[in-house]
Amino acid sequence: MKPDDTDFITQPYSGNKRSAPLADRSPVSTALPVMSLEKRLVRKVLHVLGDPPIFITLPDGTTTYFTDKKPELGMIFRNRRALWRFIVNPKLSFGEEFGAGNLQIHGDLVEFIMTAYKHRPRLHEMGKVRRVVSRVLGQQRNNSLARTRNNIYHHYDVGNDFYKLWLDKDLVYTCAYYPEPDATLEQAQFAKLDYVCRKLRLQPGETVVEAGCGWGALALHMAKHYGVKVKAFNVSHQQIVEANARVKQLGLQDRVQFVEDDYRNITGSYDVFVSVGMLEHVGTACYRQLGEVIDRSLPEYGRGLVHSIGQVESEPMNPWLVKHIFPGGYTPTLREMMDVFEPRGLDILDVENLRLHYAQTLLHWLQRFDEHKDEICQMYDENFYRAWRLYLAGSRANFLTGSLDLFQITFSRPGNNQLPLTRAHLYSDDDITQDNKAWTRATS
Amino acid sequence: MKPDDTDFITQPYSGNKRSAPLADRSPVSTALPVMSLEKRLVRKVLHVLGDPPIFITLPDGTTTYFTDKKPELGMIFRNRRALWRFIVNPKLSFGEEFGAGNLQIHGDLVEFIMTAYKHRPRLHEMGKVRRVVSRVLGQQRNNSLARTRNNIYHHYDVGNDFYKLWLDKDLVYTCAYYPEPDATLEQAQFAKLDYVCRKLRLQPGETVVEAGCGWGALALHMAKHYGVKVKAFNVSHQQIVEANARVKQLGLQDRVQFVEDDYRNITGSYDVFVSVGMLEHVGTACYRQLGEVIDRSLPEYGRGLVHSIGQVESEPMNPWLVKHIFPGGYTPTLREMMDVFEPRGLDILDVENLRLHYAQTLLHWLQRFDEHKDEICQMYDENFYRAWRLYLAGSRANFLTGSLDLFQITFSRPGNNQLPLTRAHLYSDDDITQDNKAWTRATS
């Protein structure tokens, strides 16, 4: 993209001509030398970020952009502190200043982030030095037991009431599955739980261990609709309290046991291992440990499923997200995920990328989130609302542009020849209704 | 497994008691001191191989085994040279001596190999030293252009007439797909070609490049049934000659072009990249290069499929197979396969493990192979027949025990949001009949 200042900019972009004589400058430019520096620095930052077609409105009200026409999307800096913080550390400060209200977005937030992501240089297109720096920055992924507890509290113990405002009725805080694009969030979450059960070929009387069970929706679904016995682990106290209340309400105490503990403390043997939306919190350094837990939990022909956000290239998470929303979080590539399975000789049966399902899930979450803006601002404050909105919108943008993936990985020990020959059963009406009339129930 | 000699063995297994006084030995043992050493060494070899329950018949006709009862499966050594070669290098010499007729198998060959594979120690259960040795032995995977040509000649230029005896009518020498377990080989190969096309969502008028096209069955199928234009590469001269004859016969010259050249020499841009059964010959050191070829061949939202034999743990191929059947061959793990895609930022959409489909394909091949024993022995000789039979039986055994996998990997550039939301279309009768009534035609 050719740098091209316009009417809005009093001084044309001067590149590296630092020593240009004053006489070459326009009168306004000499009147605002500091502002000119800020513009040049913002330009530099945007260039490093891949020259996204956006405009910048500076604290003095002037607007600048580097495309032929004024773009429809823009960033409006409300004060110079926010502007300078963005210049110094754009990836961290964007979220912080947006949350604080010092930086506003002109246009749709999701579209803005999509535009930014589409233009940013991908890891494999970068020079070696930047790639190495980027990789080194991503090496903070060893989560000790104590640290894990803190990370999770940070995110999931914000308060059950908060999540009840914008999640589905069963509080499923992971990617839903849309058999049809126009399914509701409730239908799609029910369909997801059922899809996981079908992928696992659960049989009545079998035993399941779940690592990272959230508010217990999957465990309860498996027990209620598939007749299995489930032991489900989670380190979040608030979630376990809620899950225990629900298991009583449904009268499933004989089939479901919730345990407030770390996945590393799982003991016993189970026919099936399942983990939905936990791997993102595990940290790559602990993947082998997770593999060991799976290995010691499964009998000779045991099987399992891991469902996790992933990404195409091994890049560190956005620093704002790591600092404020997901401390200790990391979204692995499919290759990195193999560290869980390969060292223990577990056989991959099926990998499905549900990226667009997560984009749709996030659309539903965002809509509900916005509908409850007043309650959320009352519960916390407007900064909290803005930060979480940015997180949800940013996630949707990432899934839409393919910067993030959602992988469902089905596996078993090698040599399990009792599994179905094809995946047709996953999509057969017969199977869905035979199993538990899942979709019908959800839609009725 | 407790060592336990029996009636058949005149001297009980003496472990490491090398210095046991002669008086402790039975009279027969003293009469046959050399034979006793051989037995002990065979015992050692079997122990390293995981103590499979098999008997050994030595060249003098005596039989020995190390289980409570005489096993049903056994190895019969016809001469001492074969026995000693087995003791010194069991993995290489087993195939060579079996091929030469100096080593016979008692019982079903597939079952014998399955038993051996089920008992062998898996990589992750080995000590560190053995694991490192095993890994180092597997590091011979860089295939230069010239070497590739030789490898392929070795295997695929044995002669088209040979393959016509036992492959399906379209000469598809890769894993078939069995929508129903009782499908014939012809039906299953047709279904596989069609399944690949459905996974790729081929649209009429699109362009496809195929790397490693065999005798051209997939290229011709795509052009005939999906109306796409295909450029298909292969280094095997004999295969290209046959493929060119077929394209004329079908009158598809305007849509299919066969090129006798290496995949690294692919030029141009195509909507779709496909490669079925080539990655096994590429060598891990060239995976990044293959990724570059894919990258430069695909437009912004291009997509593709790679179909390859894989394995659960990174182990070198059997040395006999590498030396005599597949020089330069290597079956990668799913993690290793990611070296093709991740460095170029290609997004994995779907991975399916068709292990049991390959076991079934091999059953069909084996049956036809045996039906044509006389012709094959006449074409070549009995050693050739035995070696190839061992290769087919061994492969079936490996797929049945889960030592080998078959991965179909569907991918696209990230952010391609035109792809279907679910995989249901792959299994919908509507889709199959709409596309080309594939299964119906195959069965009619």
Tens-place pLDDT, residues B226-284: 999 999 999 999 999 999 999 999 999 999 999 999 999 999 999 999 999 999 999 99
Find the CATH number of the domain harbouring B199. Answer: 3.40.50.150
Domain presence at residue A306: yes
**Residues of A in Cβ contact (< 8 Å) with B353:** 347-350
- pLDDT band at residue B170 using 50, 70 and 90 as cut-offs: very high
Does the structure show a pLDDT above 80 at A53? Answer: yes
Subunit contact A124:B345, Cβ cutoff 8 A: yes
CB contact under 8 A, B350 and A349: no
More confident residue, A131 or A81: A81
Search chain A and give the residue with CA nearest B397: A415
From B181, which residue of chain A is nearest by alpha-carbon distance? A421
Q: What is the pTM of this model?
A: 0.87
Are B33 and B76 in a shared domain? Answer: yes
Residues A419, A299: one domain? yes
Q: Is B346 on the interface with A (CB under 8 A)?
A: yes
Which positions 104-133 of A are in contact with B (Cβ < 8 Å)? 118, 122-125
Same domain, B301 and B419: yes
Query: Is A356 at the interface with chain B, CB within 8 A?
Result: yes
Buried-state track B194-217, b at ≥16 Cβ within 10 A, e below 16: bbbbbbbbbeeebbbbbbbbbbbb
Nearest-5° Cα angle at B300, B298 to B302? 45
Q: Which single residue is written with the structure tokens 């056989």? A: A347
Q: Judge if A215 and A248 occupy the same domain.
A: yes
Token pair of B180, please? 């129903």
Q: Which A residues in the span 176-195 are in contact with B, Cβ-Cβ below 8 Å?
A: 177-179, 181
Q: Based on the domain organization, do A368 and A404 belong to the same domain?
A: yes
What are the pLDDT digits (tens) for A272-318?
999 999 999 999 999 999 999 999 999 999 999 999 999 999 888 88
Q: Which ranges of B138-234 does DSSP label H, i.e. alpha helix?
A: 145-156, 160-166, 185-200, 217-226
Q: How many whole angstroms separate alpha carbon A140 and alpha carbon A145?
A: 15
Q: Is the ipTM of this complex over 0.90?
A: no
H or E element at residue B63 = strand B63-64
d(CA B120, CA B97): 20
Question: A398 to chain B, minimum CA–CA distance in Å?
Answer: 9
Same domain, B238 and B332: yes
The one-letter amino acid code at A181 reads: P
Binary contact (B352, A402; C-beta < 8 A): no
Rounded to a whole number, what is the distance in Å from the CA of A363 to chain B's nearest CA? Answer: 15
Q: Is the pLDDT of residue A8 over 70?
A: no
Residue A212 has pLDDT above 80, yes or no: yes
B312 at A interface, C-beta within 8 A: yes
Given the DSSP bridges, would you call strands B405-412 and B303-310 parallel, antiparallel or unpaired? antiparallel
C-alpha B50: how far from chain center: 23
Tokens in use for A35? 């502002």
pLDDT in tens, A223-241: 999 999 999 999 999 999 9
The neighbour count for residue B169, using CB atoms within 10 Å, is: 11
Same domain, A74 and A109: yes
DSSP string, B348-408: EEEEEE-HHHHHHHHHHHHHHHHHTHHHHHHHS-HHHHHHHHHHHHHHHHHHHHTSSEEEE
- Residue A136: inside a domain: no
User: Is residue B348 within 8 angstroms of chain A, CB to CB?
Assistant: yes
Residue A252 belongs to what domain range? 145-443
Question: Does A408 reach chain B within 8 Å, measured CB to CB?
Answer: no
Cβ pair A422:B179 closer than 8 A: yes
User: Are B73 and B104 within one domain?
Assistant: yes
Q: What is the CATH number of the domain that holds B108?
A: 3.30.1050
Are residues B290 and B423 both part of a single domain?
yes
Mutant choice from A131, A300, A335 vs B, greatest count of B C-beta within 10 A = A335
Our count of domains for chain A comes to 2
B204 and B311 share one domain: yes
Among B334, B348, B402, beta carbon nearest to A414: B402
Tokens 């550390």 sit on residue:
A89
Name every residue whose Cβ is closer than 8 Å to that of residue B162 and which is 6 or more positions away in sequence: B376, B379, B380
For chains A and B, count residue pairs whose Cβ atoms are closer than 8 Å: 128
